[in-house]
Amino acid sequence: MSRPTAVVIGVGAEQGIGAAVSRRFAGAGHHVLVAGRTTAKIEQVVATIVASGGSATAVTTDVTKETDVIRLFDQAMSPGAGFEPADAVVFNAGNNAIIDFTQLTAAQFEDFWRVGCYAGFLVGREAARRLLPLGRGTVIFTGASGSLRGKPGFAHFAAAKAGLRMITQSMAREYGPKGLHIAHVLIDGGVDGDRLRNLLPGYIEKAGGDGLLDVDAIAENYWTLHCQQRSAWTQELDLRPYKEAF
């Protein structure tokens, strides 16, 4: 039997959302195209999947480049013998940093927008172009607290994430009736991953048990979205630790 194919974009460290989603889909029988900018990181994620009996391929991709995104989807829709064209796409690319608004440069603002919003447009457009003729497929975008509100020092981040959210809503309204499930996941809280552990190690201890979002728990929700019956699709899902104020 041939395997279905999933594309996970924005994969970095093994202890991260993209890697966890890749493992979850692979564990359910998908062949996963693991896409990210850093070859060594995505190859490590692939090695872990293969060692566990799964199937995956690393695809070095800069999702801010249209040619890279098109090339990735060419591979996703013709993944080779034994694999079906992609039926699931996850956009998880993003960056974040606290920057005082008066010190924010035009180049920095544009960089955050390119990674957080423009890249999402490129991926969403290509996903729609390729999946619409098939009349099926799931496209999931990772959002954040900044998708809903801007906080001091995060204007650049919130602008990008809010823009991405509007893209997902427009896509869902246009393509849902044509068979594409477009979902947006709000990650509203700290993620217990390598990024936070490296940048703010004290934050992990302060949060306490289950005070941060577990990457595998997040990935389970992404898989659930993909498995939903079309009579009850979720367009937006918010995830946060039970301790998180909102």
pLDDT of residue 196: 72
pLDDT of residue 240: 96
**pLDDT average, residue stretch 6-20:** 96
pLDDT of residue 85: 97
Residue 135, classified by CB atoms within 10 Å of its CB into exposed (0-12), middle (13-18) or buried (19+), is: exposed
pLDDT category at 210 given cuts 50, 70, 90 is confident
23-42 per-position pLDDT tens digit: 999 999 999 999 999 999 99
- Does the pTM surpass 0.85? The reply is yes
Coil, helix or strand for 169? helix
The lowest-confidence range among 41-50, 138-147, 190-199, 205-214 is 190-199
pLDDT category at 103 given cuts 50, 70, 90 is very high
* pLDDT(200) > 90: no
Torsions phi, psi for 19 (to 5 deg): -65, -40
- DSSP code at position 205: H
* CATH number, domain 3-239: 3.40.50.720
- Rounded Cα distance between 199 and 86, Å, is 35
Q: With the C-alpha atoms ordered 67, 215, 94, 44, is the resulting torsion angle positive or negative? A: negative
> Which of 147, 29, 151, 36 minimizes the C-alpha distance to 84?
29
Residue 167, classified by CB atoms within 10 Å of its CB into exposed (0-12), middle (13-18) or buried (19+), is: buried
Question: Tokens 């996703």 map to which residue?
Answer: 76
pLDDT of residue 104: 97
pLDDT of residue 192: 86
End-to-end, the C-alpha distance of the chain in Å comes to: 46
pLDDT category at 197 given cuts 50, 70, 90 is confident
User: Could you tell me if 59 and 33 are in contact, meaning their C-beta atoms sit under 8 angstroms apart?
Assistant: yes
47-87 per-position pLDDT tens digit: 999 999 999 999 999 999 999 999 999 999 999 999 999 99
Per the DSSP assignment, residues forming a β-bridge with 39 are none
| Chain CA centroid to CA 147, Å | 14
- Rounded Cα distance between 13 and 36, Å, is 10
* Domain parsing of the chain, residue ranges: 3-239
Per the DSSP assignment, residues forming a β-bridge with 222 are none
139-187 per-position pLDDT tens digit: 999 999 999 999 999 999 999 999 999 999 999 999 999 999 999 999 9
* pLDDT(201) > 80: no
* Core vs surface per residue 69-98: b (16+ CB within 10 A) or e: beebbebbbebeeebebbbbbbbbbbebee
**pLDDT average, residue stretch 211-226:** 96
Q: If you count them, how many residues does the chain have? A: 246
* Core vs surface per residue 198-236: b (16+ CB within 10 A) or e: eeeeeeeeebeeebbbebeebbebbbebbeeeeeeeeeb
pLDDT category at 246 given cuts 50, 70, 90 is confident
What average pLDDT is seen over the chain?
95
